[in-house]
Amino acid sequence: MKYNYDIVVVGAGITGIAASIKASREGANVLLVERYNFVGGMSTAGMVSPFMKHSVGNDVLVQGIYQEIENEMRNQKGMIDNGFYANSFRSVAYKLLTNANVSLALGSEIISVNKSQKHIDSIVIISINGKQTIKAKYFIDTSGDAQLLYLGNFPYSKGDESTGFLQALTLFFRMDGINIRRATDFVKENPTDFFGWMDYNFDFTKIISVAGYFSFVKKAIKLGKLHPSVEYIFFTTLPDSGEASFNTSNILDLDASSSFNLTKAEFIGREQVNQVVNLLQSEIPGFENSYLLETAIQVGVRETRRAIGHYIITGKDIKNGQKFDDAIARACYGIDIHGQKDEQNRMEEIPEGQYYEIPMRALLVNDAKNLLVAGRCVSSTREGQSAVRIMPTCAAMGEACGALAQIATQKKIELQDVKYSDVRNTIKHNLSKQI
Ligand SMILES: Cc1cc2nc3c(=O)[nH]c(=O)nc-3n(C[C@H](O)[C@H](O)[C@H](O)COP(=O)(O)OP(=O)(O)OC[C@H]3O[C@@H](n4cnc5c(N)ncnc54)[C@H](O)[C@@H]3O)c2cc1C
């Protein structure tokens, strides 16, 4: 391992993977630093799946590296419809990172930032062989928690602007041995016990989404058999199999940027998973022979810190389908807030046929000369973040960051002096088609 790079990317979730592949392919010398011993972030450690909507009519808004990840996973039979296996994501990411010649430091957590005024000189990481100082010309924070910004004392925001609320946490899990046809027959016979948005014309060759079982949940809570914050049971199946992935646990009132709170969340999440599995097995038709296959490695975190950049993406931008002269990504996922204790859930879909853009300025961190940010912790309000946090959009932002940092490296200029037209040229696949 070397100790001096053109670009250091911190955090190997989908955003950091896309950023480092792009920058390295375009010719930069890139190190991707990840605290876990594997890559993927929420897409693997959090077992989050499926990829959320990112097309308008026939126009697929996010292509490029994201599309390569999808294609490779489909080739491996690790992705069906828009759902995928964490294991497949990991192996595809390694292949693309290796082919792009990205240097990887796994099991390496950034613990401090050395800076002079607005310029980051180096970061310190800790790994099994102790502390190491890594220098680079440019840094990209794709840690999801804006950890590099935080350690470097750069400005950030956190939580709802008026209440301070952070979205609920969720521990994903998978079950097998489900009799899906029996389960869906029951759903069809009891539609009032499920969400109205569900598609009841079940197509068993595709992924099926089921969300509800309200009466079962209510009863179990009343009997003290289920944590009162669980609101419903939500799962997506795999085509014609007995397997499903559950986005069901609902962990409230905890801030995932506190290790004490994260520890609590881990215990509450696991308790909720066991309770939901017991409820399904003992009472719900179709689950008589089902069993718990696995739980995610960590509790899924929807939001913590957000950068404050040259532009802050707002809920209004999302709702208005805002377009920008310096657009680097397009998306069509609406405001999606998983409510906190005493807070309503909000899902505000974008009208069919519309999309919004993300400006390059949202990647440039305030008061920092050589630092970019992308993904879950991009510069945004809480509402803005709740929309742009989905995996395809994160990948598009990451790719743009990689392009921007590489151009700055090549031209030996400040990030803010990079011409938008130069960035656009290398990421047109995510922008070009006009609807
Ligand atoms: C419960 C839940 C359900 C969701 N559902 C969907 C869905 O259905 N579809 C969808 O598209 N999106 C969904 N999302 C959103 C999406 O999964 C995430 O927002 C997205 O994956 C974030 O990607 P990222 O790369 O920005 O961050 P992350 O995936 O969080 O990656 C950040 C990486 O940085 C690393 N890191 C952090 N700190 C350090 C440090 N100090 N040193 C080194 N490394 C560090 C982490 O280990 C991690 O690997 C969901 C999220 C959650 C939590």
Kind and range of the H or E run holding 331 = strand 327-331
Encoded tokens for 292: 């718990």
323-348 residue pLDDT tens: 999 999 999 999 999 999 999 999 99
Name the nearest CA neighbour of 110 among 145, 138, 86, 137: 145
Residue 100 pLDDT exceeds 90: yes
Task: State in Å: Cα 289 to ligand 1 middle.
Answer: 32
Task: State in Å: Cα 299 to ligand 1 middle.
Answer: 11
Q: What is the distance in angstroms between the CA of the first residue and the CA of the last residue of the chain?
A: 46
Taking the C-alpha atoms of residue 426 and residue 435, their distance in angstroms, rounded to an integer, is 20
Beta strands in 243-326, from DSSP E residues, in sequence order: 244-246, 291-295, 305-307
Question: What burial letters (b/e) apply to 191-217, b meaning 16+ CB within 10 Å?
Answer: eebbeeebeeebeeebbbbbbbbbebb
Beta strands 4-10; 130-141: pairing state: parallel
Report CA-CA distances (Å) from 120 to 2, 153, 220: 18, 11, 53
Task: State in Å: Cα 80 to ligand 1 middle.
Answer: 21
Q: Residue with the nearest Cα to atom 22 of ligand 1?
A: 376
Task: State in Å: Cα 393 to ligand 1 middle.
Answer: 12
215-263 residue pLDDT tens: 999 999 999 999 999 999 999 999 889 999 999 999 999 999 999 999 9
Taking the C-alpha atoms of residue 302 and residue 48, their distance in angstroms, rounded to an integer, is 11
pLDDT interval class at 2 (50, 70, 90) = confident
Predicted local confidence at residue 432, as pLDDT? 77
A 10 A CB-CB count for 4 gives 13
Encoded tokens for 192: 């009032």
Predicted local confidence at residue 435, as pLDDT? 45
53-79 residue pLDDT tens: 999 999 999 999 999 999 999 999 999
Which atom of ligand 1 is nearest the CA belonging to 300?
A: 53
Which of 378, 391, 397 most suits a substitution to test ligand 1, by most atoms within 8 Å of the C-beta? Answer: 391
Q: Which of helix, strand or coil describes residue 327?
A: strand
Encoded tokens for 99: 């082919």
Which atom of ligand 1 is nearest the CA belonging to 39?
A: 49
Say what angle helices 64-75 and 86-99 make with each other, to 10 degrees. 120
346-362 residue pLDDT tens: 999 999 999 999 999 99
Task: State in Å: Cα 202 to ligand 1 middle.
Answer: 30
155-198 residue pLDDT tens: 999 999 999 999 999 999 999 999 999 999 999 999 999 999 99
Task: State in Å: Cα 89 to ligand 1 middle.
Answer: 13
Predicted local confidence at residue 240, as pLDDT? 83
Taking the C-alpha atoms of residue 19 and residue 12, their distance in angstroms, rounded to an integer, is 9
Taking the C-alpha atoms of residue 187 and residue 285, their distance in angstroms, rounded to an integer, is 9
Looking at every residue in the chain, the average pLDDT score rounds to 97
Taking the C-alpha atoms of residue 155 and residue 186, their distance in angstroms, rounded to an integer, is 51
pLDDT interval class at 13 (50, 70, 90) = very high
Task: State in Å: Cα 429 to ligand 1 middle.
Answer: 24
A 10 A CB-CB count for 142 gives 35
Question: Considering the chain, what percentage of its residues have pLDDT values greater than 90?
Answer: 97
A 10 A CB-CB count for 386 gives 24
30-60 residue pLDDT tens: 999 999 999 999 999 999 999 999 999 999 9
Report the length, in residues, of the chain.
435
DSSP label of 391: H
Report CA-CA distances (Å) from 209 to 43, 54, 245, 348, 364: 19, 18, 10, 19, 38
Which of 35, 48, 134 most suits a substitution to test ligand 1, by most atoms within 8 Å of the C-beta? Answer: 48
274-318 residue pLDDT tens: 999 999 999 999 999 999 999 999 999 999 999 999 999 999 999
Predicted local confidence at residue 1, as pLDDT? 64
Ligand 1: lining residues by beta carbon, under 6 Å: 10-16, 33-36, 41-43, 46, 48, 50-52, 109-110, 142-145, 147, 170, 247, 300-302, 375-376, 389-391, 394
Give φ, ψ of 372 to 5 degrees.
Answer: -115, 160
Question: What burial letters (b/e) apply to 70-79, b meaning 16+ CB within 10 Å?
Answer: bebbeebebb
Residue 135 zone, left/alpha/beta (φ > 0; ψ -120 to 50; rest): beta
Which atom of ligand 1 is nearest the CA belonging to 42?
A: 29
DSSP string, 143-196: SSS-HHHHHTT--EEES-TTT---PPBB--EEEE---HHHHHHHHHH-GGGB-T
Taking the C-alpha atoms of residue 16 and residue 32, their distance in angstroms, rounded to an integer, is 7
Which of 20, 21, 35, 42 most suits a substitution to test ligand 1, by most atoms within 8 Å of the C-beta? Answer: 42
Which atom of ligand 1 is nearest the CA belonging to 43?
A: 21
Task: State in Å: Cα 407 to ligand 1 middle.
Answer: 26
- Contact assessment for residue 187 and residue 256, using Cβ atoms and an 8 Å cutoff: no
